[in-house]
Structure 1
């Protein structure tokens, strides 16, 4: 039991030490509403995301999830990739089951290489 507890404590220390403050800056590759929708989703701006869904997809999130690709990913996966909790949760409840993300199981590889990233990371966003 002591071995298990010390292994868990070590894993938590490693996980907290490797979590670094990374700020993502999203830059639109074009001026389309679709690209703005992708940026809203990834930057966790739920009100802006809903506005673009109303404007460009007739308020149909399911249609948007089928039609829109953000940097070659579906919009829910794209938002989830950048830790956008609010928009990912909203999209997860609205999109078809094909595009839902299940966070109930997490596999953490403590030996995986973690690049030393701090500060701002610029991401160019395009839609299809």
Structure 2
């Protein structure tokens, strides 16, 4: 019984963190690798984001993460802005200086939030 409760709580936590990122629909303004990276970062698609980083050059991973701008902010800040926790944690570890997000703890009542239609976010990237 205790195991079933723990599994239910764990699944609730996973789905509630992904719910915020899924409230947005990201639309690419071009087909560049940089824009794809930004879209995956904002949509909390860590595996796709890492594949895109590999295509851009695995040895330049930190340089890419710190030089790319997603709608005029760093990829880590972009992921943080849209509540994409999984991609944010990965990107923030590799970010430095002004590109890094100084996290703080906030408590949100997710039970009170009603499902809202997805907001469209147009994404462009540059260096």
Q: Structure 2-normalised TM-score?
A: 0.69
Partner of 2:49: 49
Partner of 2:62: 62
In structure 2, relative to structure 1, the CA distance for the partners of 1:75 and 1:32 (3 Å cut) is: same
For residues 8-62 of structure 1, the C-alpha deviation after alignment (integer angstroms, 9 at most, x for no partner) is xxxxxxxxxxxx9x71000100111110010000000000111111111434332
- Aligned positions of 1:5-24 closer than 5 A: 23-24=23-24
User: 1:31 & 1:23 partners in 2: Cα distance?
Assistant: 22
SS of match in other structure, 1:56: helix
- Aligned positions of 1:99-110 closer than 5 A: 99-104=99-104
In structure 2, relative to structure 1, the CA distance for the partners of 1:59 and 1:24 (3 Å cut) is: farther
Q: Which runs of 4+ in 1 moved over 4 A?
A: none
1:124 to 108, 122, 125: 122
User: 1:31 & 1:96 partners in 2: Cα distance?
Assistant: 27
Across the aligned residues of Structure 1 and Structure 2, the Cα RMSD in angstroms comes to 2.6
For residues 48-77 of structure 1, the C-alpha deviation after alignment (integer angstroms, 9 at most, x for no partner) is 111111111434332012321111111110
Q: Is the contact between residue 65 and residue 94 of structure 2 (CA under 8 Å) also seen in structure 1?
A: no
> How many pairs align?
102
Q: Is the contact between residue 61 and residue 91 of structure 1 (CA under 8 Å) also seen in structure 2?
A: no
